[in-house]
Homo-oligomer: A and B are copies of this chain.
């Protein structure tokens, strides 16, 4: 059995020695280079574009502007499965190029040149005349009556507003003796900062368009490009090679439509569109900044009487993944700490900023920031131990969500907390760090999270798989669920080997998706890969096994029920006798003069379940109060992701997510100039991405409660590690200093402001900045 073992990544060797080919490596050198001209105003309309100087530059092939768009095919960009129910489809508000500019960085023209230098020169030589409109950058401002309107169909810039209501909030708060705890919590705009910027190339093959793209979602890109070009979807072919990270940014259809459109304008010539880092920050996608307002009414015994949440999610200029992110975050609210009387309002608001889309955690890091900061505030108010409070209020065993049908099958939360407490020596440290004085103080804090797995029942969950047997008994596995660096191919190999009964090295997962031949799958998102692909892998491997054993029966005349495949051998079950190798069987089947058959199997699994994933973070910090600087001393994540397919890869997943969570909690913040709407720090020098230098040893622990709904006992793990890091750090800082920072990240600017607002520098004067 390979599931559960720390086998080496199947792509490790090639990646380590640098042999792995990425999109740019694959693009033929004859490609024209495309570069995008972005708007330099935050709101308005392009009146004219003068390309004459640009087109004179040697090497420039052609400049296309928003005015060259003959047919306007609006398209959505979210990497969601298509819905045949129109009301459930994503908002189609993008054009490949637009004259109606909605943020500083919008796409108004594109240069196609023979080389990078000419393209860059041409960009600078283009002259644009705008009609400028007032713009709005803040979500609360944007909802005001007199705010500039971004999209006609969305008054007050509200893309969507949903409510959750349970019990009777207004009645419940009348209960005598309740404590009211209220707070505003905000999260920053951050960017995915995958190593490989977005890149794609396109060319025509006959009357079809081929696009090779660094994407998480090749089959969805195919559909959206079809929509964007007004071309039948079957005429689009999308190929996804290895990619250098995506983290949700590449769960959006980014510039594939533009690149394909440019190729079509130039008789199908090969066009490469490689987006620089600075543009990736501004003009691809960012994480939704969300402002949350929570009021909790708590009894003296630490139980909830009533709760209220309002969340305002900053969508930026276009809908992209839209409301689903805020809705998911707000959806966590009544589930994580169940309460009889709840009101929740989720708003997603357009602003004249970079477009927010999917990012690892998909609303939950923002929600956990609000909820878990607020939980700590409640404990402070009640003077109650944060652990005790959580154990009392967290979702109990047996909890079942009526909508998703998710159920908490085991005492996961307590198990995770126990593990965290043990490995951090939390109880001793928590006590030790109470009531410190001096400039340098330590604190320990924690936070929990809740996550679900895949997207059913909100959207379709479907995964198709194909397996092709070779002469030597090895096989190829094809899936639409993509390897994006997380190790999916390795997990798939382990699953396949176990179900089919072959050695791991006999399984080769075809890593590169090609929508022409890869079975349909929606791609990598919603931490769905091992869960959803698990179903189709298991089903297809069983189908292939059935066909193999049927052929084995033909050759051996042993009844199929007395045959099995063990370690690549056809075995007679009754006495474990090896009858033949799978390779011999496959060779005979292929070349048989009496019955030749190329053994393969293909099937679709539709998944109509979902699963809760849980965990917590423990963080220990040292705060330099005069410097307003937080040093992370220790950080521990504990996860229950069900059965681990590969504990080493699981740990690596958690490490990556923790790093991203640390940046979100301590340093990252994409800023916009209030005067122009321009991004101010859209580069890796100024953005303060969390790196190796900012991390203590990242520690990951697991509690493995096999998920009963899952094909392999597994559930989501890709996104959860980012979810509870930031509030755990904030809560540790709170223990160290008594100062609560409600605006992530807890960087020196925010900590200084909080310290000042909370009068830290007035008493005792030990901090004197």
**A positions within 8 Å CB-CB of B:** 10-11, 13-14, 17, 19, 21, 25-26, 28-29, 81-84, 203-208, 223, 226, 232-235, 267-268, 460, 462, 464, 466, 468, 470-476, 478, 505-506, 508, 510, 516-517, 519-520, 583, 587-588, 590-593, 595-598, 600, 602, 604, 606
Contact = CB atoms under 8 A, between A and B. Distances in A.
A600 B206 contact: no
A28 B602 CA distance: 33
A464 B583 CA distance: 19
Contacts of A464: 598
Nearest to A465: B598
- Which 3 A-B pairs rank lowest in CB-CB distance, beginning with the nearest? A234-B474, A234-B470, A520-B598
Nearest to A232: B472
Given A14-B205, A234-B508, A508-B234, A595 B590 contact: no
Contact of A206 (B11, B226, B587): B11
A590 B19 contact: no
Contacts of A583: 232
A471 B19 contact: no
Contacts of A468: 516-517, 519
Contact of A204 (B19, B223, B473, B606): B19
Given A82-B587, A460-B596, 8 more contacts: A19-B268, A84-B591, A460-B592, A462-B591, A464-B598, A466-B517, A466-B600, A602-B602
A519 B601 CA distance: 11
Contacts of A593: 460
B516 A84 contact: no
A206 B84 contact: no
7 contacts: A10-B206, A21-B28, A26-B28, A460-B593, A466-B600, A468-B516, A478-B517
B82 A591 contact: yes
Contact of A19 (B205, B516, B592): B205
Contacts of A83: 591
B606 A84 contact: no
Given A84-B588, A595-B606, A517 B517 contact: yes
Which of A25, A203, A592, A596 counts the most B-chain CB atoms under 10 A from its CB?
Answer: A596
Nearest to A13: B206
A236 B595 CA distance: 25
A13 B466 CA distance: 32
Contact of A476 (B460, B472, B516, B604): B516
